[in-house]
Amino acid sequence: MPSKKALVRRPSPRLAEGLVTHIEREKVDLDLAVEQWEAYTEALRTHGWETIEVDPADDCPDSVFVEDTVVMYRNVALIARSGAESRREETAGVEEAVASLGCSVNWIWEPGTLDGGDVLKVGDTIYVGRGGRTNAAGVQQLRAAFEPLGARVVAVPVSKVLHLKSAITALPDGTILGRIPQLDAPSLFPRFLPVPEESGAHVVLLGGDKLLIAASAPKTAELLADLGHETVPVDISEFEKLEGCVTCLSVRMRELYV
């Protein structure tokens, strides 16, 4: 059944200690981050999404990046097991939240690792990045969880960025957005639109032609508006300092049965 619920998680007071892998560490302003998070969740609500707050995980600096903890396909929630050990405690609260929403719950088990940021769904195709956070066992377990439900899982090597979705996301029509230099194997994607800014590779589909996009990607927003999309910019500068992007701050749930 169509649903428009989105899991979100309030930033931890320890946000500034979040992991940084591919960029230089910059000072994070926690108060500004909280303001930006509130504006982000408000933008979801303005566009018809009910936001559901997962219990905060104040001891986990990266817990605001809730997308990494779970992958939804239909009514099934696959609880991730991060390739970054410091992020593994984050899943307990998320597991409770998805169970209380009536999802069937499944898990990535040791030795598998997988971050939700490595998983991009385009219709029934699920691209999964095999890289720093997601290993081969994680890919196999994702396949075993979702292929029986009708998904086609396509594994993609990722070595230049943190997650697959640091490099690409998809428009409502399935066109992949991204920048070729950040991809190991761009030819895997059938319809590809290069964007002018790195943060322009990330959009959240709000419904219809509406796209949430980072305020740091104004040229991409212009390009997408020129192609007939309505863009909704949000400033997420404090999360970008920790390699976060617009997708990682929520988990959209579109096919719940409750």
Ligand X SMILES: NC(=O)NCCC[C@H](N)C(=O)O
Q: Does 138 bind ligand X (CB under 6 A)?
A: no
Q: Kindly state whether residue 131 participates in binding ligand X, applying the rule CB under 6 A.
A: no
CA distance 2 to 111: 34
State yes or no: residue 16 binds ligand X (CB under 6 A).
Answer: no
Beta bridge partners of 231: 211
Catalytic residue among 163, 202, 229, 245: 163
- The Cα 211–Cα 227 span in angstroms is 12
Q: Is 163 a catalytic residue?
A: yes
Binding of ligand X by 251 (CB under 6 A): no
Short-list 193, 214, 185, CA closest to 127: 185
> Does 37 help bind ligand X (rule: CB under 6 A)?
no
Q: What Rg value do the Cα atoms of the chain yield, rounded?
A: 17
- 242 touches ligand X by CB under 6 A: yes
Omega prior to 157 cis, within 30 of 0: no
Residue number with the smallest Cβ distance to ligand X: 117
Q: How far is the CB of 225 from ligand X (least distance, A)?
A: 24
Residue 94 interacting with ligand X (CB under 6 A):
no
Residue 101 to residue 117: CA distance in whole angstroms: 22
Closest CA relative to residue 120, chosen from 72, 88, 78: 72
Number of residues near ligand X (by CB under 6 A): 19
Among 9, 81, 130, 163, binds ligand X (CB under 6 A): 163
Tell me if residue 245 is catalytic: no
Is residue 64 within 8 Å of residue 12, measured between CB atoms? yes
The reply on whether position 178 binds ligand X by CB under 6 A is: no
**Contact residues for ligand X (CB under 6 A)?**
18-19, 21, 62, 65, 67-68, 84, 87, 117, 162-163, 165-166, 242-245, 248
